[in-house]
Amino acid sequence: MVKTGDAQRGGWRNGLAARLTALTGLLLVALAGAVVAFTAFESRRDAADRMVAELAGDVQAAAEALGRGDEVHDVLKALSARPQALYVTLDARGGDVVVALAPAAQPPAVARDVLAETSGDGPAAITLADGAAHAAKTVALSGGGEATLRVGVSLAAADASAASAASRGLIAALAVLLVGLPAFALVVRRTLSPLRGLAQAISRVDGASLEVDRAALRRDEIGDLARAHSTMTREMFRNAAALRRAAFDDPLTRLMNRDGLNRRLSEALQVGQGVALLKIEVGGLERVTTGLGPAGADAAVHGAADRVREAAAEWTRRARAIHALGDDLAVSVARIGEAQFALLAHGAGEAAAEELARLTLAAFEGPLRLDEHRIGLSPAIGVAFAPQHGDRAEALMRSAGAALAAARLARGPAVRIAGAELNDRAYSRLRIEQELRRALAEDELEVHYQPQLALGGGRVIGAEALVRWRHPLRGLIAPGEFVPVAEETGLVEPLGRFVLAQASRQAAAWASMGIPIRVAVNVSPLQFRNPRFSEAALQIIREAGADPSRIELEITESAAMADPSHAARELAPLRSAGVRIAIDDFGTGYSNFAALTQLPFDVLKIDRSFVRDALVTPGARVVVEAVLGLARNLDVETVAEGVETEEQRAFVTAGGCTFGQGYLFGRPMPGDAFEAWYANRLGAQLRAVVAEAQAQPWGRHAAARAVIPPSPGFAQPAAS
């Protein structure tokens, strides 16, 4: 729980009520001080004004008495006898001075013109200085002549009056503070008490409080704050739930995502619970994406998720019925990839997990219906158990992934259980991936070329470019070992670009040497799905300096028919530029022939499996004959792959196949070895033609004319 703030940690002194009370007290003290000072000032001023007025009156009376002829000493003595008198003097014009009360200091001087104005009925000139009032007046003496009457009076009584007023004011202010401040603090504390309730509510996780509810009923600012807090709390919990869903749920299926599965798996392993983890990859979903678009793909994923849910629910019902287990037996369903799901069976042993896998396979036996379409889906399942195959979430996921990779190799519905062998295989594939990345960067890959010959006459018309990996420690690695890893990890795109660039440079070099053959290059389905495939391929060919007509791109039947509109869009600019297009592995898929005929292509390649089995399996023979007939009707060329025997060669030749490729004609070889092989074959053909011509007396000159002179730059072997 969160602390309620500094007020709770520092006591009441740091509270808002104490601060407001202290501030109010300071303001009251300042105000009381100002009032007391003003009152004292006014009191002193009033007292001083009274004393000055009395002094002026006494001086005027004394001047009148002196004018009547009263005894000077008596008049002056009467003035000096008044309270607070400081001095009384009468200065005659002749210089005589009558002093009734001598001044302690020299009185302030008065200007003559000012004294002149005080004669007769004029008022005395009053000067305030040094805490005293000084009066000076010109008087007319009864005996004749004039004199100046000076009287000084202390204003100490006015100061005493001010001090008395200040004391009374301070006492009154203190009384007000002593009574008013506690009352004010009580009012403030009660006024702010709902704020304390809000603070306590905020410190709780749920934010709920009876004080907040009561405060929300108020119609003042505190009520506004309480209502705002309630609204904020509701929005916070709503947003927190949304964030939780975004972090741990798949937005499409509302199943757990990979992070949610990892969290739940970690929680189960932390408490030592035995679990079975099933990783499921649903084959066929990628075809829906390319064939039916995003909406169809989403619907297919929903359908697959529903089938996984149904399998989990059926397994739970059966397990509880058979074993009488409680509600703690449950299966968590997650979507962890585009076409991958996972089942986390809590408390399941090996037999129970295998049953769950069988139910999952059974759930996908029927086709998935999407409107008028029927989609066949094929799940591959990898199973791992905790703690046998991993006591941490990462290790268990890795073991299940290795088992899934093994199940995927079955090319159909399959289940594999994790084990040390599968983990070693997965580690080996990971090592191959890492080393393949290095091989691409350090030029360890090379391209070999397998000849393609015209079955009628044996002329070499082309070569297929096949990648090989010359490992610094393991030697030459076959493509079957690293190409599948490249396809799984996305390395097949840079690998394909490398092969096309090398093959294009080789085609350009052979053209300059007078070797008039084309080079065929395989294109992976992942490469072909690139929306800018044709643009990138033409750029590579042109940068290599090759004539596009010397390049043939082989697109697999399944890749071409996965999205016929994409295939037509990408193949058209290639064919317009002169690049030949071949449909590879033809006959292995389930092509829509109507859509196939709309694609721009030049060659159909018959898969090696049909060529191999055609002489022993009637079905394979029928497929080969059907493909050759289709090619004749479409007026395209054909290439029979994997021709290894004379019988196979004779069979495909009799069926009208255009070209052949296989070990019977030549194995894949590096470029320089291919050049030597080509030269030797050309020399052998030349010698055969010359020998045959020489055997006919009439044919010597015809034989000479039949031999085509070699192009400049290519070394022609000797005829002998």
> CA–CA distance from 271 to each of 266, 392, 657 (Å)?
9, 12, 67
Q: CB within 8 A of 141, min separation 6: which ones?
A: 66, 67, 92, 147
> CA–CA distance from 669 to each of 480, 514, 677 (Å)?
17, 19, 9
In this structure, are residues 98 and 90 in contact, taking their beta carbons and an 8 Å threshold?
yes
Report the pLDDT value the prediction gives residue 707, as an integer from 0 to 100. Answer: 44
Cα 538 from Cα 450, distance rounded (Å): 23
Based on the number of CB atoms within 10 Å of its own CB, is 381 exposed (0-12), middle (13-18) or buried (19 or more)? buried
Report the pLDDT value the prediction gives residue 370, as an integer from 0 to 100. Answer: 82
Report the pLDDT value the prediction gives residue 651, as an integer from 0 to 100. Answer: 94
Report the pLDDT value the prediction gives residue 708, as an integer from 0 to 100. Answer: 44
Q: Please say if the pLDDT value at position 428 is more than 50.
A: yes
Residue 656 phi, psi (nearest 5): 95, 15
State the average pLDDT for the chain: 82
The pLDDT confidence band at residue 24, using thresholds 50, 70 and 90, is confident
Least confident of 195-199, 308-312, 419-423: 419-423
Percent of the chain topping pLDDT 70: 84
Residue 27: beta bridge partners?
A: none
Query: Which residue in 281, 570, 641, 675 is the catalytic one?
Result: 641
Asked if 692 is an active-site residue, the reply is no
> What are the helix (H) ranges across 514-656?
525-528, 533-543, 557-562, 564-576, 593-596, 608-613, 618-634, 646-654
The pLDDT confidence band at residue 245, using thresholds 50, 70 and 90, is low
pLDDT, one tens digit per residue, over 589-617 is: 545 566 677 788 999 999 888 999 999 98
Strand segments, DSSP code E, in 295-434 are: 331-335, 340-346, 368-370, 373-375, 378-386, 414-417
**Taking Cα atoms as reference points, which of 310, 476, 296, 318 lies closest to residue 375?**
296
Label the pairing between strands 518-523 and 551-556: parallel
Q: Please say if the pLDDT value at position 672 is more than 70.
A: yes
Residue 311 phi, psi (nearest 5): -65, -40
Label the pairing between strands 637-640 and 659-660: parallel
**Taking Cα atoms as reference points, which of 525, 522, 530 lies closest to residue 558?**
525
Q: Please say if the pLDDT value at position 327 is more than 70.
A: no
Span 409-438, average pLDDT: 75
The pLDDT confidence band at residue 655, using thresholds 50, 70 and 90, is very high
Cα 300 from Cα 284, distance rounded (Å): 10
> To which residue do tokens 């004199």 refer?
147
Report the pLDDT value the prediction gives residue 693, as an integer from 0 to 100. Answer: 79
Cα 435 from Cα 276, distance rounded (Å): 33
Least confident of 93-97, 169-173, 506-510, 714-718: 714-718
Report the pLDDT value the prediction gives residue 523, as an integer from 0 to 100. Answer: 92
Q: Which helix (H) or strand (E) holds 588?
A: none
Task: Report the residue count for the chain.
Answer: 720
- At 649, which amino acid appears? R
Report the pLDDT value the prediction gives residue 43, as an integer from 0 to 100. Answer: 87
The pLDDT confidence band at residue 326, using thresholds 50, 70 and 90, is very low
Helix or strand or coil: residue 391? coil
**Taking Cα atoms as reference points, which of 82, 74, 40, 33 lies closest to residue 57?**
82
Tokens of 218: 């108020």
Residue 509: beta bridge partners?
A: none
pLDDT, one tens digit per residue, over 174-205 is: 888 888 878 887 887 777 776 666 666 666 65
Q: Global pTM?
A: 0.51
In this structure, are residues 173 and 29 in contact, taking their beta carbons and an 8 Å threshold?
yes
Tokens of 171: 């006492």
Report the pLDDT value the prediction gives residue 662, as an integer from 0 to 100. Answer: 94
Report the pLDDT value the prediction gives residue 684, as an integer from 0 to 100. Answer: 83
pLDDT, one tens digit per residue, over 698-720 is: 554 544 444 444 444 444 443 32
Q: Please say if the pLDDT value at position 304 is more than 80.
A: yes
253 vs 248, residue with greater confidence: 253
pLDDT, one tens digit per residue, over 350-403 is: 888 888 999 999 999 888 888 777 888 889 999 998 888 888 888 888 888 888
Least confident of 2-11, 364-373, 459-468, 511-520: 2-11
Q: Please say if the pLDDT value at position 433 is more than 70.
A: yes
Least confident of 413-427, 511-525, 559-573: 413-427
- Going by the DSSP 8-state scheme, the letter that residue 409 receives in this structure is T
Report the pLDDT value the prediction gives residue 456, as an integer from 0 to 100. Answer: 87
pLDDT, one tens digit per residue, over 460-486 is: 999 999 999 888 888 888 888 888 778
43 vs 231, residue with greater confidence: 43
Report the pLDDT value the prediction gives residue 719, as an integer from 0 to 100. Answer: 35
Helix or strand or coil: residue 714? coil
DSSP notation for 293-309: HHHHHHHHHHHHHHHHH
> CA–CA distance from 559 to each of 11, 50, 530, 566 (Å)?
76, 119, 12, 10
